[in-house]
Amino acid sequence: MAHHTYRFEAVAAAPPDVVFEVLVDAPGWASWAPMVGQASYEREGVPAPHGVGAVRSFGARVGPKSLEEVVVYEAPRRFAYEIRSAPLPVTGYRSEVELTATDDGGTAVEWTGRFDTSVPGVAWLMRRSVAGFVRGLVTESEGRAAPT
Protein backbone atom coordinates (compact mmCIF):
# COMPACT_ATOMS: atom_id res chain seq x y z
CA MET A 1 0.00 0.00 0.00
CA ALA A 2 1.46 3.36 -1.06
CA HIS A 3 1.14 6.53 1.01
CA HIS A 4 0.07 9.67 -0.85
CA THR A 5 -0.25 13.34 0.07
CA TYR A 6 -1.47 16.49 -1.59
CA ARG A 7 -1.33 20.23 -0.95
CA PHE A 8 -3.21 22.91 -2.84
CA GLU A 9 -3.10 26.65 -2.26
CA ALA A 10 -5.38 29.40 -3.57
CA VAL A 11 -6.48 32.90 -2.67
CA ALA A 12 -10.13 33.92 -2.56
CA ALA A 13 -11.31 37.51 -2.78
CA ALA A 14 -13.76 36.77 0.03
CA PRO A 15 -13.30 37.01 3.80
CA PRO A 16 -12.51 33.86 5.83
CA ASP A 17 -15.97 33.68 7.41
CA VAL A 18 -17.61 33.45 3.95
CA VAL A 19 -15.10 30.86 2.71
CA PHE A 20 -15.56 28.80 5.88
CA GLU A 21 -19.35 28.94 5.56
CA VAL A 22 -19.17 27.60 1.99
CA LEU A 23 -16.63 24.91 2.95
CA VAL A 24 -18.50 23.43 5.91
CA ASP A 25 -22.00 23.41 4.39
CA ALA A 26 -22.13 19.79 3.16
CA PRO A 27 -25.45 19.99 1.25
CA GLY A 28 -24.21 23.12 -0.53
CA TRP A 29 -21.34 21.19 -2.15
CA ALA A 30 -23.78 19.72 -4.69
CA SER A 31 -24.15 23.21 -6.23
CA TRP A 32 -20.44 24.06 -6.61
CA ALA A 33 -18.13 21.05 -6.19
CA PRO A 34 -17.15 19.11 -9.32
CA MET A 35 -18.32 15.48 -9.32
CA VAL A 36 -20.64 16.03 -6.33
CA GLY A 37 -24.25 15.58 -7.41
CA GLN A 38 -25.64 14.71 -3.98
CA ALA A 39 -24.54 15.89 -0.55
CA SER A 40 -26.23 15.60 2.83
CA TYR A 41 -25.73 14.79 6.49
CA GLU A 42 -26.06 11.29 7.88
CA ARG A 43 -25.51 12.80 11.34
CA GLU A 44 -25.13 16.37 12.57
CA GLY A 45 -22.11 17.48 14.55
CA VAL A 46 -21.34 20.01 17.28
CA PRO A 47 -22.04 22.80 16.65
CA ALA A 48 -24.99 21.61 14.57
CA PRO A 49 -25.07 20.80 11.80
CA HIS A 50 -21.52 21.16 10.43
CA GLY A 51 -19.29 20.63 13.48
CA VAL A 52 -17.18 17.86 14.97
CA GLY A 53 -18.82 14.47 14.67
CA ALA A 54 -20.92 15.38 11.64
CA VAL A 55 -21.04 12.58 9.09
CA ARG A 56 -21.33 13.93 5.56
CA SER A 57 -22.49 11.89 2.57
CA PHE A 58 -21.16 12.81 -0.88
CA GLY A 59 -21.70 11.20 -4.24
CA ALA A 60 -22.50 11.59 -7.90
CA ARG A 61 -26.16 11.96 -8.89
CA VAL A 62 -26.42 8.14 -8.91
CA GLY A 63 -24.25 5.43 -7.46
CA PRO A 64 -22.28 4.87 -4.28
CA LYS A 65 -21.43 7.61 -1.81
CA SER A 66 -18.51 8.50 0.42
CA LEU A 67 -19.06 9.05 4.13
CA GLU A 68 -16.79 11.60 5.81
CA GLU A 69 -16.63 12.52 9.48
CA VAL A 70 -15.74 16.05 10.59
CA VAL A 71 -12.84 15.84 13.06
CA VAL A 72 -11.83 19.53 13.37
CA TYR A 73 -14.16 22.54 13.29
CA GLU A 74 -12.52 25.83 14.29
CA ALA A 75 -14.54 28.61 12.66
CA PRO A 76 -13.48 30.46 10.59
CA ARG A 77 -9.95 29.15 10.16
CA ARG A 78 -9.59 25.37 10.28
CA PHE A 79 -11.66 22.38 9.17
CA ALA A 80 -10.71 18.70 8.81
CA TYR A 81 -12.47 15.50 7.90
CA GLU A 82 -11.71 11.81 7.50
CA ILE A 83 -13.26 9.35 5.08
CA ARG A 84 -15.09 6.56 6.91
CA SER A 85 -16.21 4.71 3.77
CA ALA A 86 -15.80 5.34 0.06
CA PRO A 87 -16.37 3.68 -3.29
CA LEU A 88 -12.69 4.25 -4.11
CA PRO A 89 -10.00 1.96 -2.67
CA VAL A 90 -8.43 4.37 -0.16
CA THR A 91 -7.65 4.02 3.53
CA GLY A 92 -6.39 6.42 6.17
CA TYR A 93 -7.80 9.44 4.31
CA ARG A 94 -7.64 12.74 6.19
CA SER A 95 -7.99 16.21 4.71
CA GLU A 96 -7.48 19.57 6.40
CA VAL A 97 -8.28 23.07 5.22
CA GLU A 98 -6.58 26.13 6.75
CA LEU A 99 -7.96 29.60 6.04
CA THR A 100 -5.89 32.72 6.69
CA ALA A 101 -7.06 36.30 6.26
CA THR A 102 -5.04 38.31 3.74
CA ASP A 103 -4.17 42.00 4.13
CA ASP A 104 -6.67 42.96 1.42
CA GLY A 105 -9.66 41.25 3.08
CA GLY A 106 -9.44 37.99 1.16
CA THR A 107 -8.54 34.50 2.27
CA ALA A 108 -5.53 32.29 1.66
CA VAL A 109 -6.70 28.68 1.36
CA GLU A 110 -4.40 25.75 2.05
CA TRP A 111 -6.00 22.32 1.50
CA THR A 112 -3.84 19.34 2.44
CA GLY A 113 -4.49 15.64 2.71
CA ARG A 114 -3.11 12.15 3.01
CA PHE A 115 -4.31 8.67 2.18
CA ASP A 116 -3.15 5.18 1.25
CA THR A 117 -3.99 3.19 -1.86
CA SER A 118 -2.40 0.45 -3.90
CA VAL A 119 -4.55 0.90 -6.99
CA PRO A 120 -2.88 2.73 -9.91
CA GLY A 121 -4.64 5.95 -10.91
CA VAL A 122 -6.53 6.47 -7.66
CA ALA A 123 -4.02 8.97 -6.27
CA TRP A 124 -4.24 10.99 -9.49
CA LEU A 125 -8.05 10.96 -9.33
CA MET A 126 -8.09 12.02 -5.66
CA ARG A 127 -5.70 14.91 -6.32
CA ARG A 128 -7.64 16.03 -9.37
CA SER A 129 -10.90 15.95 -7.38
CA VAL A 130 -9.51 18.04 -4.54
CA ALA A 131 -7.98 20.54 -6.97
CA GLY A 132 -11.48 20.98 -8.40
CA PHE A 133 -12.92 21.40 -4.91
CA VAL A 134 -10.41 24.18 -4.19
CA ARG A 135 -11.32 26.01 -7.41
CA GLY A 136 -15.04 25.56 -6.72
CA LEU A 137 -14.67 26.78 -3.13
CA VAL A 138 -12.90 29.96 -4.26
CA THR A 139 -15.42 30.67 -7.04
CA GLU A 140 -18.47 30.06 -4.84
CA SER A 141 -17.04 32.12 -1.95
CA GLU A 142 -16.22 35.05 -4.22
CA GLY A 143 -19.72 34.93 -5.69
CA ARG A 144 -21.27 35.06 -2.23
CA ALA A 145 -19.01 37.90 -1.11
CA ALA A 146 -19.55 40.02 -4.23
CA PRO A 147 -21.47 43.26 -3.64
CA THR A 148 -25.05 43.14 -4.84
> Where in the chain are the domains?
2-145
pLDDT band of 148, cuts 50, 70, 90:
low
Residue 125 phi, psi dihedral angles, 5° rounding: -65, -40
pTM for the whole thing?
A: 0.96
C-beta of residue 122 within 8 angstroms of C-beta of residue 88: yes
User: What are the residue ranges of helices labelled H in the chain?
Assistant: 16-24, 29-32, 122-145
Residue-wise pLDDT tens digits, 32-48: 999 899 999 999 999 99
The CATH superfamily label for domain 2-145 reads: START domain (3.30.530.20)
C-beta of residue 82 within 8 angstroms of C-beta of residue 25: no
Task: Please name the residues in contact with 129: beta carbons below 8 A apart, sequence gap of 6 or more.
Answer: 34, 35
